[in-house]
Homo-oligomer: A and B are copies of this chain.
Amino acid sequence: MDLQKWQEQLLAKNRLVEDWLEEVLPGPELEPGRLHEAMLYSLFAGGKRLRPALVLGAVEAVGGEVQAALPAAAALEMIHTYSLIHDDLPAMDNDDYRRGKPTNHKVFGEATAILAGDALLTLAFELLAAHLPGAGVSPEIALRVIREIAEAAGTQGMIGGQMADMEAQGQQVNGEQLEKIHRRKTGALFRAAVRVGGLIGGATPEQLAALSHYAEQLGLAFQITDDILDITGDPAKMGKDKNSDLKNCKATYPSLYGLEQARIMAEKAVTAAITALGIFGAKAEFLKETALFLLKREQ
């Protein structure tokens, strides 16, 4: 599979998730209209939607039904989106642009942006509880999925990582601390995406362990390449300014290890991620190509 074929598969997965979202989401015609508008603005702001694609890729790897995992895929994208809205707020990273568009609070104001983030997080859990069972997932697995996602999004996962990242700004951070921050801030949601895909698809414990290992290495590679792009990337393709980490006094893999070493670390993580997929054979093709994409990404 080449990069173009992978991108086509990613788009096909995106379409499945977006069609599902459009079916179940409240539109701006439903009160309070401006709040729904703000939620949809960020949810459809042109993200790559890697997390939902990972959910569906993991279902495929274990030979499960993609349809059954759409509520979980959508929920993870909503949680990722809410975290971006809140992270961009003036009191947090104070970003004016995201994916080339004005950030949520720039368009709708701070108060609405806070509520839109809260509402996306809340709606994610509502959709999981309401639609997982109807999609053919047993109530026991549905509860386990909700728990995995909540844990990954909470203080031992994404929110905790964001807090640690904030606290580390302007501080001396070593490699171990940097990895710990990102394992929670970015890695936890990747891990949950792949794991809940596996759980919904009926993964064995061995398969679930392999998926977890894949996701951990993928998360690491994602963060390293994200840091590299912040220095070397094309702002037009990324839709945001370069060197934002430097401006925010954030430690990064290139700042700690140098650009060349960081590239080698990313390659190693991608290789480890792909190795973990061995037991799935060709059914894990999409997950494998997703890892390889990270080494070529331009946004």
Q: Report how far A171 CA is from B92 CA in the complex, Å.
A: 31
- A117 located at the interface, meaning its Cβ lies under 8 Å from any Cβ of chain B in the complex: yes
- A111 located at the interface, meaning its Cβ lies under 8 Å from any Cβ of chain B in the complex: yes
> Which A residues, 155 to 191, have Cβ-Cβ distances below 8 Å to chain B?
155-156, 159-160, 162-164, 166-167
Question: Which of A15-23, A140-148, A248-256 binds B?
Answer: A140-148
Tell me which residues across on chain B come within 8 A of A118, comparing CB atoms. 82, 86, 117-118, 121, 159
B126:A114 contact, CB within 8 angstroms: no
- A35 located at the interface, meaning its Cβ lies under 8 Å from any Cβ of chain B in the complex: yes
A126:B139 contact, CB within 8 angstroms: no
Q: Report how far A234 CA is from B81 CA in the complex, Å.
A: 43
Q: Report how far A111 CA is from B164 CA in the complex, Å.
A: 12
> Which A residues, 119 to 157, have Cβ-Cβ distances below 8 Å to chain B?
119, 121-123, 125-126, 128-130, 132-133, 138-140, 142-144, 146-147, 150-151, 153-156
Question: Which of A26-34, A47-55, A270-278 binds B?
Answer: A26-34
With A92-B111, A118-B159, A119-B159 already in contact, 12 other A-B pairs whose C-beta atoms are closer than 8 Å: A30-B155, A31-B164, A32-B160, A32-B167, A34-B163, A35-B159, A86-B118, A91-B110, A119-B154, A123-B154, A126-B151, A139-B140
Q: Report how far A125 CA is from B118 CA in the complex, Å.
A: 13
Q: Report how far A153 CA is from B162 CA in the complex, Å.
A: 24
Copies in the complex: 2
Q: Which A residues fall within an 8 A CB radius of B?
A: 26, 30-32, 34-36, 39, 82, 86, 89, 91-92, 109-112, 114-115, 117-119, 121-123, 125-126, 128-130, 132-133, 138-140, 142-144, 146-147, 150-151, 153-156, 159-160, 162-164, 166-167
B91:A153 contact, CB within 8 angstroms: no
A88 to nearest B CB, angstroms? 11
Tell me which residues across on chain B come within 8 A of A155, comparing CB atoms. 26, 30, 32, 35-36, 39, 119, 122-123
